[in-house]
Structure 1
Amino acid sequence: MYITISPQKLGDQYATSVADFVDYLEKENTDRLPEQRELFFNQTSDHISSKEVIREIDSNTAKLKTTEPRYYSLTINPSQRELHHIQNDPDKLKSYTREVMKDYAASFNRNFNGKPIQVSDIKYYAKIEYTRTFKNTDKEVRENAIYSNRIAKLENDLRKLSRGEIKGSDLDIQKEINRLQKEAPHKVNGQLIEAGIGKPGAQTHIHLIVSRKDQTNSISLSPGSKYRASEVIFQGKHTKRGFDRDSFFQKAESRFDKQFQFQRNYVEKYSSRKLLINAPKQYYSAILKLPTSERKLAMTLMKSAQSVIPAIPNTKLRFAVKQVQKALELGMRSGSIGY
């Protein structure tokens, strides 16, 4: 389970309206009949129109500065293994989303009218999407780029050749195109992976639009707060502040496992992904201590296209991870474990 939280921006500015983002989330409805369209939902309703979402979010911004986000975007991204476990059931995903939002509310270290923040205080709208496409930033697209660019140039040469603008052999050019397409490292159903190509397998995920202000438009609730759960003296009073992201991510994962009786592998755990970044040797040592079947699954998941390993920014750390991983693989092979 991978969850992201981000304020929506247009360039360097926060969006003054949620309309553009809602339009983006309507992309899968473009070619559908009205009765087939996926509508928004929230904690109490399953049939919310895009117009209502825009109206409710845009009107819930009292006293917010232009330098502050009006809303936040949350994305709940189940893995393909998790989706397979629940049979890619949209009703189960809606139910799970509603439970996750209870954990979201509980992660605010705030009181409102003398009570901790409840999910009933949160104004949000969610929508299920079923497909994803490769982006320019994806590893597969980046590693294919040298091939894609060369193919594009050769295809342009073919067009010039047909117009008599250049001389050459169309057969030789086509032969080179075929060679490059064959040698490109990443394909889907034989097609070279480029930006815009649909990703294979189950890709269902949930987008949420969460208002910065509560349901009454009275208090600001920012999951982007730099403060974790703490208290300060404000105008002579003890005031709670902050949002505990770490706790929220952990609770969301535990919620899925408990709600659907999912047996999570070590490398799929949020705590393990954190350990990989902070202590890679310890992470791989823990994998070696797993039961044989769990080790096999861990290695399969780590090598799969839907990798559970997060991006690691530090070059030296990435090198260390690769070295430890090679040692792990060698040890597993020499121990006749296999994977």
Structure 2
Amino acid sequence: MDGLSAMLDGPRARRAFLLRILLDPPWCVRLEDEAPLSVTTVVRGGMWVCPDDEEPVRLGAGDVVVWVGGDHWTIADDPGTPTQVVIHPGQVCTTVDGHVVAEEMAQGVRSWGNTGEGETVLLTGVYQLEGEVTRRLLRALPRTLVLRADELETPLVDLLAQEVVRDAPGQEAVLDRLLDLLLLTLLRTWFARSHAGTPGWYAAQGDAVVGPALRLMQHHPHHAWSVAELADRSGVSRAGFARRFTELVGEPPMAFLTQWRISLAADLLLEPDATVASVARRVGYATPFALSAAFKRERGISPRDHRRAGSQRASALPTARPEKMHPPRKVPSSAL
């Protein structure tokens, strides 16, 4: 398992918010939902991405923007168009003066906008909860990540556009997995850029000494790894291995392993049937007490409290379920 796959293998989208957006100009949407990560693709037409403290960026058909972190930002048909709609935490949609417009702008199954056709059509997928394993990955990404259509050789955008409006059993799970695949493809393309600022743990995957050791730890976190065994598996001395690992990855081998185990544990603890004991075994701790002590030392919270908080956040999340989408109504002039 390579580093990027490992980082994304655990924290899969759960009830991700996916929506097709249909817009005729003039339009301007302020995004204040503070989600940890979102992916927005231009299917037809174009839009401007307007961060608060950076120059606007124009996107055309086939282009994609990945927004990382909870900062607020704006998308619009033109940078000069005044804000008309604001998306708040929980995907609550209002006008600037606070009037809720979810029903007025509903356009069918997982579709939303100020028109039924749309000069501009967007697809957006929002990861509403930070998957603990992806923390290291998210820290390695810029806040605004733009990929152009000619960089992306994938059928996933077209497939997601087809599937997002389908109303079928198990469709939310299908959309979650498609969003994960699209995100993985986007990040792989981004990291392949020479100027992308590839993080040490990712670049080190290709190193003849450090790469195999990283894959061993990522794929077998339950094993009682030591620096000596990892060095032996890599065919170098203990001192040489530790020095090269720290130089390329940015932290010593055992520090990386601890962070990896705790990150995995944080994500696994959110699974419905998981127990502290079962998670401890899967990530390399001999007892639940050992995992609890390490988890609290690294995260400042017990595994049980972490799981309880995660369950509360997940239960509060909205979803763009077909049965919750209303028939389209005429949008009042105060909206768009």
Q: Which has the higher contact order (CA 8 A, sep 6+)?
A: 2
Larger radius of gyration: 1
Normalising by structure 2, report the TM-score. 0.32
Normalising by structure 1, report the TM-score. 0.32
- Whichever structure has more helix as a proportion of its residues is 1
